[in-house]
Amino acid sequence: MSKSYSVAILGATGAVGTELLELLESRKFPVGNLKLLASERSAGKVIQFQGENLVIESVNDGSFDQIDIVLASAGGGTSKTWAPKAVERGAVVIDNSSTFRMHPDVPLIVPEVNPQEAANHKGIIANPNCTTILMALVVWPLHQVKPVKRIVAATYQSASGAGAKAMEEVKIQSQYILEGKQPVAQVLPYPLAFNLFPHNSPMTSMGYCEEELKMVNETRKIFGNQDIRITATCVRVPVLRAHSEAINLEFDTPFAPHTARQILSDSPGVQLLEDWHKNYFPMPMEASGKDEVLVGRIRQDISHPCGLELWLCGDQIRKGAALNAVQIAELLVKQNLLS
CA 163, 293, 121, 94: dihedral to nearest 10 degrees?
30
Side-chain-facing half-sphere of 78: CA atoms under 13 Å? 21
Strand, helix or coil for residue 335: coil
Q: Supply the pLDDT for residue 51.
A: 86
* Annotated binding-site members: 13-16, 41-42, 101, 157, 160-161, 210, 236, 316
Distance CA(15)–CA(160), nearest Å, equals 8
- Name the band, by pLDDT with cuts 50, 70 and 90, for residue 337: confident
Task: Name the DSSP class of 209.
Answer: B
Q: What is the pLDDT of residues 197-239, one digit of tens each?
A: 999 999 999 999 999 999 999 999 999 999 999 999 999 999 9
Q: What is the pLDDT of residues 302-322, one digit of tens each?
A: 999 999 999 999 999 999 999
Q: What is the pLDDT of residues 16-46, one digit of tens each?
A: 999 999 999 999 999 999 999 988 888 888 9
* Annotated binding-site members for NADP(+): 13-16, 41-42, 160-161, 316
Q: Supply the pLDDT for residue 2.
A: 64
Q: 130 to each of 68, 113, 137, 149, 157, how far by Cα in Å?
A: 25, 15, 11, 22, 10
Q: What is the pLDDT of residues 66-120, one digit of tens each?
A: 999 999 998 899 999 999 999 999 999 999 999 999 999 999 999 999 999 999 9
Distance CA(73)–CA(324), nearest Å, equals 12
Active-site annotation, residues: 130, 243
* Annotated binding-site members for phosphate: 101
Nearest to 94 by CA among 335, 318, 332: 332
DSSP string, 230-269: EEEEEEE-S-SS-EEEEEEEEESS---HHHHHHHHHTSTT
Strand partners, 36: 9
Q: Supply the pLDDT for residue 212.
A: 98
Task: Name the DSSP class of 160.
Answer: G
Domains of the chain with bracketed CATH: 5-127+321-335 (3.40.50.720), 132-158+196-314 (3.30.360.10)
b/e per residue 1-13 (b: at least 16 CB within 10 A): eeeebbbbbbbbb
Q: Supply the pLDDT for residue 44.
A: 86
Q: What is the mean pLDDT of residues 270-297?
A: 98
Q: Supply the pLDDT for residue 113.
A: 98
